[in-house]
Structure 1
Amino acid sequence: MLPYSEQQLINANVNPATGLATDYPNLFNEAVMLFEMGLDMPDMAEELTDWRPHGYIEHFERSGFEQKDVVVAAYLYAPHEIREAFDASVARALSVFDSSINILLSTHMMDAAARADLETRLVEMKALVIEMDSHIHGRVESDLQSEVDALF
């Protein structure tokens, strides 16, 4: 049994139903913002050299978040099927973000085909953030598909 009350979870920005914290996608939102800016201003892409992909627990353990113990414990106690689906989504996001950022940093933006590929990658990155968020909030698949469709 989780050693924290529902109110303690809420105070730590954890969804009590899923055991997942709403703050984690912020790591990826930052990268999306810098990636978008880097498409139009290549010197801004260099800001992404400091971005590091971190798994869920590592992200909170490295953060200065005061209630990280609550967040980590809630994650460890999260229902297996929710955590498994979330972890799969995070693994995809970590891989896509890492490879996309590396490609952006090594691409000449005057190459139309390369730019088109990066724009497609950006859409995928945004969709992955929405997917992670849907797991955190316990949304059903049909809701997720509607959100992804809205990107196009």
Structure 2
Amino acid sequence: MRASSRRFRGYTLVELLVVLAVMGLLAGLAMPLAEMTVQRERERELRRALWEIRDAIDGYRQACEQGVIVQARKGPPYPASLKELTEAHEDQRASHQGELRRFLRRVPRDPFAEPGLPAEQTWGLRSYASDADKPQAGNEVYDVYSRATGTGLNGIPLSQW
């Protein structure tokens, strides 16, 4: 066989460079979309956690007002801490004597908080007496908010959710 009759098949250097350039362009376009997807998921987790904690706080308040549980201190019928929502409270109604009530299984963590912090410390706490625009901690937990400094995809600061 003659060497000249053999044809080598393959890609040229120019073809490989064009393919790599197209792949790089597509990857560059996909990165912002991937980052937005991650941000959207973290915001969804934040909304869910805020709803869960606020629902538990409202349940605690309602249970105190209806005499289902006894509040350990005087003042507004709100828990003294987020940890109190996970603790067992004895049901004071005669028909349910001895039953225990918990308002949260565990305190969810703020998905935007530093990973090393315990879940209870990832939230900003607002007392009943503090103003909504300037939340301050106090003797009870009336509301929670994210301590994150960023802004959500909807343009509202995460701390105002």
TM-score with structure 1 length normalisation? 0.35
Task: Choose between structure 1 and 2: higher strand proportion.
Answer: 2
User: Higher relative CO (CA 8 A, sep ≥ 6), structure 1 or 2?
Assistant: 1
Structure with max Cα Rg: 2
